[in-house]
């Protein structure tokens, strides 16, 4: 019987570095441990799940963006299936960047999992540059993440402005719920020793909370897939992605320079060569998406001779 599996929730806004952080933890995994990952993505195309699977861990995905929708039923089914298949020594949960962690913790704390999961210190990542936007501090999702975090990590500090780093320091100084760890990081690097810390933050849950729809209000997602034989120009895709200042873009794309894992937020992107994938997949997340324009511009980046989808 599975019992007291150390369970770690990694949360943060879209583009904060959750996927990179989990990959960093997987790279530090002791050889004698078997880990599993439960991932919830905004959108129906499971980009993150494929990334984790390539690292040799068992993965279960819940597409749609809200891990707590339908009163947590999809999440409960997924976690039971994952535990049954993998019987892990440790479980990592990547919370959606548009889903409230308090609802997730409420579901994981139910009697059904009380003796199975041992929820450890929750980890929240944030991009300090976002703190310069007044809307950030007023955002209910941000407040929820901050309230639930035992460990608070400012990521991307190597490219953050002095003003943004000061805003992060001020945030912690005036935070009434003290954290076990407050740290700065680059490339979402986390200390694996943090996984041994217990969860101390009660993360008070508003009992009036209602299950959300698959995508938080105001956010939209659109995904496209193309056959693996469809080839795109990387020199065309890069400026296209750089122009999308308010969007989150992630996917696997077959380019004239090989297969690339594209990970972009606010116009800043990374391009990582990967092994051949079964198809091209691209997901865009944002507000008031111009879906037809985006699709047209993506298709414009197809190499000559390719046939656009209608």
In sequence order, the 6+-apart residues with CB closer than 8 A to the CB of 222 are 43, 283, 284, 289, 291, 294, 295
SS3 state of residue 73: helix
pLDDT exceeds cutoff 60 at 64: no
CA distances in angstroms from 66 to 93, 99, 117, 233, listed in the order given: 13, 5, 21, 33
Given this model, what pLDDT does residue 98 score?
56
pLDDT band of residue 157 (cuts 50, 70, 90) is very high
- Better-predicted residue by pLDDT, 234 or 175: 234
- Rounded Cα distance between 37 and 204, Å, is 25
pLDDT per residue as tens digits for the range 197-247 = 999 877 754 433 333 334 455 677 788 889 999 999 999 999 999 998 777
Q: What is the pLDDT of residues 261-290, one digit of tens each?
A: 888 887 788 898 888 888 898 888 887 888
- pLDDT (0 to 100) of residue 181: 96
Q: What is the pLDDT of residue 68?
A: 46
Percent of all residues in the chain with a pLDDT value above 70, rounded to a whole number? 86
Helix, strand and coil content of the chain, in percent to the nearest 5, comes to 35, 25, 40
So what's the pLDDT on residue 99? Answer: 64
Complete domains list, the chain, with CATH: 5-196 (3.40.50.300), 220-300 (3.30.1220.10)
- In this prediction, residue 131 carries a pLDDT of 92
Q: Backbone phi, then psi, for 195, in 5-degree steps?
A: -65, -15
Q: What pLDDT digit, counting tens, does each position of 15-30 carry?
A: 788 988 999 999 999 9
Average per-residue pLDDT for the chain: 84
Token pair in block for residue 299 = 């298709």
Q: What pLDDT, on the 0 to 100 scale, is given for residue 264?
A: 85
Residue 37 dihedral angles phi and psi, to the nearest 5°:
-130, 130
Please count the other Cβ atoms lying within 10 Å of the Cβ belonging to residue 33: 10
């Amino acid at each position: 019987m599975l019992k007291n599996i150390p369970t770690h929730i990694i949360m943060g806004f879209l583009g904060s570095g959750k996927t990179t952080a989990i990959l960093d933890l997987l790279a530090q995994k002791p050889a004698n441990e078997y880990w599993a990952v439960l991932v919830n993505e905004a959108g129906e195309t499971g980009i993150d799940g494929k990334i984790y699977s390539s690292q040799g861990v068992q993965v279960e995905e819940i597409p749609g963006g809200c891990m707590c929708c339908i009163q947590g039923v999809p999440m409960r089914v997924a976690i039971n299936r994952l535990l049954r298949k993998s019987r892990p020594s440790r479980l990592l949960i990547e919370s959606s960047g548009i889903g409230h962690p308090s609802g997730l913790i409420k579901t994981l704390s139910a009697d059904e999992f009380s003796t199975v999961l041992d929820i450890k210190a929750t980890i929240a990542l944030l991009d300090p540059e976002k703190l310069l936007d007044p809307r950030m501090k007023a955002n209910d999702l941000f407040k929820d993440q901050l309230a639930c975090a035992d460990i608070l990590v400012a990521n991307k500090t190597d490219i953050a402005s002095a003003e943004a780093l000061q805003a992060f320091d001020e945030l912690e100084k005036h935070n009434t719920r003290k954290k076990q760890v407050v740290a700065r990081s680059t490339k979402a690097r986390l200390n694996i020793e943090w996984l041994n810390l217990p969860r101390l933050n009660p993360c008070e849950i508003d009992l009036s909370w209602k299950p959300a729809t698959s995508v938080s209000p105001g956010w939209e997602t659109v995904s496209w897939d193309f056959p693996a034989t469809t080839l795109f120009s990387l020199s065309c895709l890069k400026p296209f992605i750089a122009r999308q200042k308010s969007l989150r873009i992630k996917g696997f794309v077959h380019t004239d320079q090989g297969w690339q894992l594209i990970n972009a937020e606010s116009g800043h992107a990374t391009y990582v060569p990967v092994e051949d994938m079964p198809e091209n997949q691209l997901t865009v997340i944002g507000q008031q998406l111009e879906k037809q324009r985006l699709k047209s511009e993506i298709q414009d980046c197809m190499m000559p001779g390719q046939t656009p989808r209608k």
